[in-house]
């Protein structure tokens, strides 16, 4: 009996010591994969382990050197040289050098690369969404990577790109250990293998459906992380995340419901955290492979039928603003024109013109998880469905597992669906190409507008800010008229920490939050 008590006591002591240096982070889900997934929950974890060539300044969308110390473009901006940080190693001992950079970019860029594992089913969708396409396919941008010397890599492009460093700062493009990728094969990035990078934390364990644990990298090339252990937990409901935060079983909770803003502010044990301006948009997609959404009048009718002001006021309050266009405030190329007003009568007229005077039946898919752009997706979906029923659009509400959802929307299975976007980098291109480019538009929206496709490519290689602004405005006008998707909200995501947590600075870009600087007192 005494022994047992002693054991319990020592366990308790151990627990409290361990606890003091363990930071528990509550997000809405555990990652899908740490290698090629593109959702924020996966990227936030990966960003602590692998590092990009280019990083972001603290709580800012401005870039700064990370694994590359400096870079310069050739005169025509078709060739970029990156000078790498020296003496950095991956945590498996592999040196970080130009060969490693080439290995990573080749594997992302080329579907035929044996380490892309494309044949086994890995699909790095982030690459074409940011670099137009994979190597050799229509419109591809990255031609090759040359190893100039041990610490100099040169990236050659098919056409000028003035903001390549911004693109490489996106959370997707962390540098993975070539040795680890080769050894782990297809399972690299999954729960059994994890990932190996140069970052301030090291992958330890991933128990699917429960938690993912990282340890501090004691040999980090920069200043070591403040906390010893980092635990990520997937807690689906925003309210449950808040409850756990209040109970102290997690230290940081992200993507809380705007409903809880007051409750969090009034709680002395907690601190409210949100970025100054979020680069995010929540939208309602309409996939034109599904009749009658191939008819622009039907898509416009939907925009007239939805009372955006009422929805944003009810479900976001101070933490959101109605979005009229895809490019968020603070970026170039916005139209700033009037939104589609809430006008159910106009919606009915348009439906009648399109031959649906009596309305029609369809499906409205809502996300099963809360994301920063839609903290309470089901509530917004129900409100929209109710508004649509007023004009005769009878939308059955549907949802499915998040991983499958992200595949299915791009397959055109959803007539109307909710989705959103948190910027990868602070450029208008990131709110246009990932949706409406030649390669992405047909997937997400069944959208096929050659004029827009050409303009998007022109904007990417245009030289001056004025030129790019003008082109983006033209694109936005087409999007406004053709309405492949209806932007709904520019939200500010609400996070909260326990009062003893310092240094958690959300980034306007969402997933690129470094945990290295967080302290737990």
Alpha helices, DSSP H only, in 169-305? 178-184, 238-247, 261-265, 296-305
Q: CB under 8 Å to 259, separation ≥6 — which residues?
A: 315, 376
Pick between residue 135 and residue 261 the one whose CB is nearest to another protein.
261
Q: Binding of another protein at residue 267 (CB under 8 A)?
A: no
Nearest-angstrom CA–CA distance, 333 and 91 = 42
CA-atom Rg of the chain in angstroms: 24
Near another protein in 38-67, by CB under 8 A: none
**Degrees, nearest 5: CA angle 324-327-391:** 30
Pick between residue 232 and residue 366 the one whose CB is nearest to another protein.
366
Nearest-angstrom CA–CA distance, 164 and 73 = 9
Q: Which stretch binds another protein (CB under 8 A): 96-104, 165-173, 234-242, 491-499?
A: 234-242
Pick between residue 295 and residue 379 the one whose CB is nearest to another protein.
379
- Which token pair is 148? 């100039």
Nearest-angstrom CA–CA distance, 451 and 444 = 18
The helix or strand, by DSSP H or E, that contains position 395, with its residue range, turns out to be strand 393-398
- Write down the least CB distance from residue 307 to another protein, Å: 8
> Which of 106, 187, 400, 502 is in the footprint of another protein by CB under 8 A?
400
How many residues touch another protein under the rule CB under 8 A: the total is: 29
Q: Which stretch binds another protein (CB under 8 A): 125-133, 144-152, 232-240, 442-450?
A: 232-240
How far is C-alpha 134 from the chain's CA centre? 20
Q: Binding of another protein at residue 272 (CB under 8 A)?
A: no
CB 170 within 8 A of CB 425: yes
Nearest-angstrom CA–CA distance, 437 and 504 = 35
Which value, to the nearest 10 degrees, does the dihedral of the CA atoms of residues 40, 45, 50, 51 take? Answer: 60
Q: Binding of another protein at residue 240 (CB under 8 A)?
A: yes
Q: Binding of another protein at residue 363 (CB under 8 A)?
A: yes
Nearest-angstrom CA–CA distance, 40 and 367 = 14
Pick between residue 183 and residue 407 the one whose CB is nearest to another protein.
407
How far is C-alpha 308 from the chain's CA centre? 23
- Which token pair is 35? 């290698």
Q: Binding of another protein at residue 500 (CB under 8 A)?
A: no
* Three-state SS at 7: helix
Pick between residue 88 and residue 238 the one whose CB is nearest to another protein.
238
Pick between residue 395 and residue 483 the one whose CB is nearest to another protein.
395
> Which of 68, 238, 369, 418 is in the footprint of another protein by CB under 8 A?
238
Q: Binding of another protein at residue 407 (CB under 8 A)?
A: no
Q: Binding of another protein at residue 249 (CB under 8 A)?
A: no
Pick between residue 84 and residue 419 the one whose CB is nearest to another protein.
419
Q: Binding of another protein at residue 265 (CB under 8 A)?
A: no
Q: CB under 8 Å to 376, separation ≥6 — which residues?
A: 238, 257, 259, 315, 370
Q: Binding of another protein at residue 399 (CB under 8 A)?
A: yes
Q: Which stretch binds another protein (CB under 8 A): 100-108, 259-267, 448-456, 496-504?
A: 259-267
> Which of 398, 458, 470, 505 is in the footprint of another protein by CB under 8 A?
398
- Which token pair is 62? 């401005």
Q: Binding of another protein at residue 396 (CB under 8 A)?
A: yes
CB 397 within 8 A of CB 367: no
- Write down the least CB distance from residue 98 to another protein, Å: 49
Q: Binding of another protein at residue 11 (CB under 8 A)?
A: no
Site string for another protein, 373-392 (x = CB under 8 A): ---x-xx-xxx-xxx-x---
> Which of 183, 210, 237, 454 is in the footprint of another protein by CB under 8 A?
237
Site string for another protein, 308-347 (x = CB under 8 A): --xx-xx---------------------------------
> Which of 32, 77, 118, 263 is in the footprint of another protein by CB under 8 A?
263
CB 484 within 8 A of CB 419: no
How many C-beta neighbours within 10 Å does residue 234 have? Answer: 18
CB 244 within 8 A of CB 211: no
Listing DSSP states for 452-512 in one string gives: HHHHHHHHHH--SHHHHHHHHHHHHHHHHHH-SEEEEEEE--EEEEETTEE----BTTBS-
Q: Binding of another protein at residue 256 (CB under 8 A)?
A: no
Q: Binding of another protein at residue 239 (CB under 8 A)?
A: yes
Pick between residue 122 and residue 378 the one whose CB is nearest to another protein.
378
Burial of 276 (0-12, 13-18, 19+ CB in 10 A): exposed
Q: Binding of another protein at residue 489 (CB under 8 A)?
A: no
How far is C-alpha 389 from the chain's CA centre? 32
- Which token pair is 204? 């330890």
- Write down the least CB distance from residue 314 to another protein, Å: 4
Q: Which stretch binds another protein (CB under 8 A): 199-207, 257-265, 454-462, 506-514?
A: 257-265
Q: Binding of another protein at residue 397 (CB under 8 A)?
A: yes
Near another protein in 274-313, by CB under 8 A: 307, 310-311, 313
Contact set with another protein (CB under 8 A): 237-240, 257, 259-260, 263, 307, 310-311, 313-314, 363, 376, 378-379, 381-383, 385-387, 389, 396-400
């Amino acid at each position: 009996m005494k022994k047992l008590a002693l054991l319990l006591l020592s366990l308790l002591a151990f627990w409290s010591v361990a606890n003091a240096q363990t930071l528990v982070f509550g997000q809405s889900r555990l990652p899908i994969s740490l290698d090629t997934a593109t959702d924020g929950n996966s990227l936030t974890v990966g960003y602590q382990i692998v590092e990009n060539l280019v990083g972001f300044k603290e709580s800012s969308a401005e870039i700064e050197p990370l694994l590359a110390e400096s870079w310069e473009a050739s005169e025509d901006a078709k060739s970029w040289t990156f000078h790498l940080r020296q003496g950095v190693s991956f945590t498996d001992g592999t040196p970080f050098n130009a060969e490693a950079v080439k290995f990573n970019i080749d594997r992302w860029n080329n579907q035929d690369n044996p380490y892309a594992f494309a044949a086994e089913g890995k699909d790095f969708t982030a690459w074409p969404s940011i670099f137009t396409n994979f190597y050799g396919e229509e419109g591809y941008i990255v031609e090759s990577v040359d190893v100039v010397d041990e610490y100099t890599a040169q990236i050659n492009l098919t056409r000028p790109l003035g903001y390549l460093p911004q693109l490489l700062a996106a959370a997707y493009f962390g540098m993975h250990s070539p040795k680890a990728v080769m050894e782990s094969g297809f399972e690299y990035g999954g729960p059994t293998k994890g990932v190996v990078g140069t970052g301030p934390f090291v992958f330890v364990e991933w128990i699917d459906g429960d938690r993912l644990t990282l340890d501090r990298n004691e040999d980090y090339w920069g200043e070591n992380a403040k906390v010893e252990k980092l635990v990520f937990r997937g807690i689906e409901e925003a309210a449950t995340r808040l409850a756990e935060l209040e109970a102290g079983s997690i230290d940081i909770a992200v993507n809380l419901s705007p409903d809880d803003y007051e409750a969090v502010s009034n709680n002395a044990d907690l601190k409210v955290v949100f970025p100054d301006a979020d680069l995010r948009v929540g939208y309602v997609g309409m996939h034109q492979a599904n009749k009658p959404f191939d008819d622009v009048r039907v898509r416009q009718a939907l925009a007239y039928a939805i009372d955006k002001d009422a929805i944003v006021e009810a479900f976001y309050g101070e933490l959101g603003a109605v979005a009229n266009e895809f490019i968020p405030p603070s970026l170039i190329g916005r139209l700033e024109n009037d939104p589609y007003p809430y006008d159910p009568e106009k919606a009915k007229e348009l439906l009648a013109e399109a031959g649906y005077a009596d309305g029609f039946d369809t499906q409205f898919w809502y996300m099963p998880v809360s994301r920063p752009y839609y903290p309470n997706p089901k509530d917004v979906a129900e409100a929209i469905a109710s508004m649509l029923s007023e004009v005769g659009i009878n939308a059955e509400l549907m949802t499915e597992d998040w991983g499958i959802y992200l595949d299915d929307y791009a397959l055109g299975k959803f007539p109307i669906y909710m989705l959103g976007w948190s910027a990868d980098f602070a450029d208008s291109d990131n709110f246009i190409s990932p949706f409406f480019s030649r390669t992405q538009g047909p997937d997400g929206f069944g959208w096929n507008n050659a004029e827009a496709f050409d303009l998007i490519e022109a904007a990417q290689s245009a030289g001056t800010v004025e030129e790019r602004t003008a082109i983006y405005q033209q694109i936005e006008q087409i999007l406004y008229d053709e309405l492949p998707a209806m932007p709904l909200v520019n939200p500010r995501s609400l996070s909260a920490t326990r009062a003893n947590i310092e240094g958690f600075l959300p980034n306007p870009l969402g997933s690129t939050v470094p945990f290295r600087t967080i302290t737990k007192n």
